[in-house]
Amino acid sequence: KSLLGLFGSQIQLESELGKGSRFFFELKLKSKDGLVDDIPFEITEQNYEFKGLHLLIVEDNKINQVITKKMLLKKEITSDIANNGTEAIVLAKENNYDAILMDIHMPGISGEEATIEIRKFDKEIPIIALTAISLDDSLESFFAAGCDDVVTKPFKPEVFYQKIGENIFDKRKVKNPASYNP
């Protein structure tokens, strides 16, 4: 019910004794026009061991926060949430995360600006941009800001998990090949 409220919708109920109940709602959503389709990406089957990872989700949209957190929990990944770029910078300084999932378009300090600030004190942590890329966006600007990778919204779960695995485990393997143990 609260998620529907965030969309400006409400749940309705029709009930008939002995026959059952019917719940329904209506959502008005913007079309995907003006957005670039998913970036071509080849999915390679990997068996990453995600259990025990701790990530920072930087996202101003409450629904996206809930969805992202639930997707991480499915793989036994714990997470903290920063509602904006300023909170992200503070949490990244105060905590030891395995990676940061960074929304790019946020009010106040954008994801790109927050990434630039985080890179001033942490050059190693994987930062993955999560964004609905519009035609005005430039992938190069995300990478120039310090992002390691980009996942486009809405994202496919298999792409989401693979990008997390590649940016955490595969980069550890390259850095320390002798001690790598996914």
pTM for the predicted model, two decimal places? 0.72
Q: What is the pLDDT of residue 178?
A: 46
Residue 92 shares a structural domain with residue 145: yes
Q: What's the pLDDT score for residue 37?
A: 45
The tokens for 3 are 């998620």
**Count of structural domains, the chain:** 2
Q: What sign has the CA pseudo-torsion 109, 75, 40, 66?
A: negative
Which residue stretches of the chain have pLDDT < 70?
Answer: 1-7, 27-45, 133-137, 172-182
112 lies in the same domain as 172:
yes
Domain identity same for 98 and 169:
yes
The predicted pLDDT at position 21 comes to 86
42 is a domain residue? no
Rounded-to-integer distance, Cα 150 and Cα 130, Å: 6
Answer yes or no: do 9 and 63 share one domain: no
**Do 101 and 24 fall within a single domain?**
no
Nearest to 56 by CA among 154, 130, 146, 142: 130
Let me know: does 88 contact 118? Beta carbons within 8 Å.
yes
Are residues 25 and 58 both part of a single domain? no
100, 125 in Cβ contact below 8 A? yes
Is 48 contained in some domain?
no
157 and 102 assigned to the same domain: yes
111 close to 102: Cβ distance less than 8 angstroms: yes
59 and 5 together in one domain: no
Predicted confidence at residue 173, as pLDDT, reads 55
Q: Looking at the domain assignment, is residue 46 inside a domain?
A: no
CATH at residue 162:
3.40.50.2300
> Does some domain include residue 102?
yes
- Give yes or no: residues 18 and 65 share one domain: no
Does 35 fall in a domain? no
Same domain, 24 and 60: no
User: What domain range includes position 78?
Assistant: 54-177
58 occurs within a structural domain: yes
Q: Is the domain of 59 the same as that of 20?
A: no
The predicted pLDDT at position 26 comes to 76
What pLDDT shows up at residue 129? 94
